[in-house]
């Protein structure tokens, strides 16, 4: 990466190549580290080196390494666990983000906060969601991400919150990595297993590699909230049905889950217009899935 590529935002002083990535042992953080470690000075503290739940730990680490950019991936990302452990997950997802925002705000570090499309779970309507909508998340995790976004904006006004969609990769990078849509799909196809996907669930599914590739453009974004992932024209069952057909596979073993979100469809699809005005683009969910499988 060349220096001049990153220096355009008026509020950023000369790019010094120092990036902090929290949650670097996780699905997204590990891929960001891999992408930047050759061209930048990447700081990737593990849980023990910097515990986001403790303000002193966050301040001491960030004051020591003085990054220009901090990508805050660390979180309790399992929505079910958050639902069952509201207090413990609040400390990680909300207070952890606030600690990052306070320190980054004080030191002039550009903070990129990983938020989620789950913020839209509970919103009415079947259209893709825009960032300026009134939202009232139905789940604990979505409520925590929304509160964290607000605290990031309050304590670090130049911070950028990315509402990420469900991410996948065709390869496993780490031993303990959580499963993802594409690897689960490919495994079911390879083992000729029955697949069951919901018909009342509408959401974008995003290639994590594109999230990482588009990150450099995020460094230059003005503070605010941005949807950040692939749009999707279909529900999850339809997405898989079309994917199988486009790949030339039989749809015989594909079954509908008609109970999940029945009577109250979940629509957390994102509208990407705002990010697109800054040159950030993601192909649609189905298009990218086909490309990905064909490139394996």
Ligand X SMILES: NC(=O)c1ccc[n+]([C@@H]2O[C@H](COP(=O)([O-])OP(=O)(O)OC[C@H]3O[C@@H](n4cnc5c(N)ncnc54)[C@H](OP(=O)(O)O)[C@@H]3O)[C@@H](O)[C@H]2O)c1
Site for ligand X, rule CB under 6 A? 22-23, 25-29, 46-47, 51-53, 73-75, 77, 92, 96, 114, 116, 164, 166-167, 178
Tell me the closest approach of the beta carbon of residue 192 to ligand X, in angstroms.
Answer: 27
Burial class (CB in 10 A: 0-12, 13-18, 19+), 279: exposed
Helix (H, G, I), strand (E, B) or coil at 274: helix
Nearest residue (CB) to ligand X, 40 versus 205: 205
Nearest residue (CB) to ligand X, 15 versus 62: 62
- Alpha-carbon Rg for the chain, nearest whole angstrom, is 19
Name every residue whose Cβ is closer than 8 Å to that of residue 222 and which is 6 or more positions away in sequence. Answer: 9, 158, 160
Tell which residue, 107, 83, 82, has the closest CA to residue 92.
82
Nearest residue (CB) to ligand X, 118 versus 235: 118
Residue at token pair 């919150």 = 161
Burial class (CB in 10 A: 0-12, 13-18, 19+), 230: buried
Nearest residue (CB) to ligand X, 52 versus 160: 52
Tell me the closest approach of the beta carbon of residue 168 to ligand X, in angstroms.
Answer: 8
Nearest residue (CB) to ligand X, 68 versus 115: 115
Residue sitting closest to ligand X (CB): 26
Helix (H, G, I), strand (E, B) or coil at 202: strand
Nearest residue (CB) to ligand X, 23 versus 198: 23
Pairing of strands 195-198, 254-257: parallel
Tell me the closest approach of the beta carbon of residue 174 to ligand X, in angstroms.
Answer: 8
Residue at token pair 């990680």 = 92
Q: From the CB of residue 255, how many other CB atoms can be counted at a distance below 10 Å?
A: 12
Tell me the closest approach of the beta carbon of residue 4 to ligand X, in angstroms.
Answer: 29
Tell me the closest approach of the beta carbon of residue 118 to ligand X, in angstroms.
Answer: 7
Task: Give the chain's count of helices (H) and strands (E).
Answer: 12, 12
**Tokens describing residue 10:** 């008026």
Tell me the closest approach of the beta carbon of residue 248 to ligand X, in angstroms.
Answer: 28
Answer for the pair 279, 219: CB distance below 8 angstroms, yes or no: no
Tell which residue, 39, 38, 36, has the closest CA to residue 70.
36
Nearest residue (CB) to ligand X, 120 versus 155: 120
Nearest residue (CB) to ligand X, 111 versus 164: 164
Element (H, E) at 141: helix 140-155
Tell me the closest approach of the beta carbon of residue 250 to ligand X, in angstroms.
Answer: 28
Tell me the closest approach of the beta carbon of residue 241 to ligand X, in angstroms.
Answer: 22
Cα 186 → chain centroid: 22
């Amino acid at each position: 990466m060349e220096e001049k590529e990153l220096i355009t935002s008026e509020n950023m002083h000369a790019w010094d190549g120092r990036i902090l990535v929290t949650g670097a042992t996780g699905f997204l953080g590990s891929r960001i580290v891999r992408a930047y470690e050759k061209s930048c000075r990447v700081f990737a503290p593990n849980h023990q080196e910097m515990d986001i739940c403790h303000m002193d730990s966050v301040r001491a680490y960030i004051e020591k390494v003085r990054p220009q950019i901090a990508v805050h991936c660390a979180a309790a990302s399992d929505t079910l666990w958050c639902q069952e452990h509201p207090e413990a997950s609040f400390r990680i997802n909300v207070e952890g983000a606030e600690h990052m925002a306070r320190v980054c705000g004080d030191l002039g570090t550009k903070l990129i906060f990983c938020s989620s499309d789950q913020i839209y779970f509970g919103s009415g309507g079947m259209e893709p969601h825009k960032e300026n909508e009134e939202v009232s998340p139905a789940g604990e995790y979505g409520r925590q991400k929304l509160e964290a976004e607000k605290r990031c904006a309050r304590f670090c006004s130049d911070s950028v919150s990315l509402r990420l969609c469900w991410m996948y990769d065709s390869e496993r990078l780490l031993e303990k990595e959580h499963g993802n849509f594409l690897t689960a799909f490919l495994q079911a196809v390879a083992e000729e297993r029955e697949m069951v996907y919901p018909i009342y669930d509408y959401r974008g599914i995003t290639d994590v590699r594109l999230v990482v590739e588009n990150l450099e453009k995020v460094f230059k974004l003005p503070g605010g909230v941005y949807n950040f992932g692939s749009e999707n024209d279909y529900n999850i069952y339809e997405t898989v049905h079309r994917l199988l057909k486009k790949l030339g596979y039989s749809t015989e073993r594909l079954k509908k889950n008609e109970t999940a979100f029945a009577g109250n469809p979940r629509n957390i699809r994102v509208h990407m217009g705002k990010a697109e005005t800054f040159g950030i683009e993601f192909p649609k969910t189905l298009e990218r899935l086909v490309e990905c499988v064909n490139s394996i």
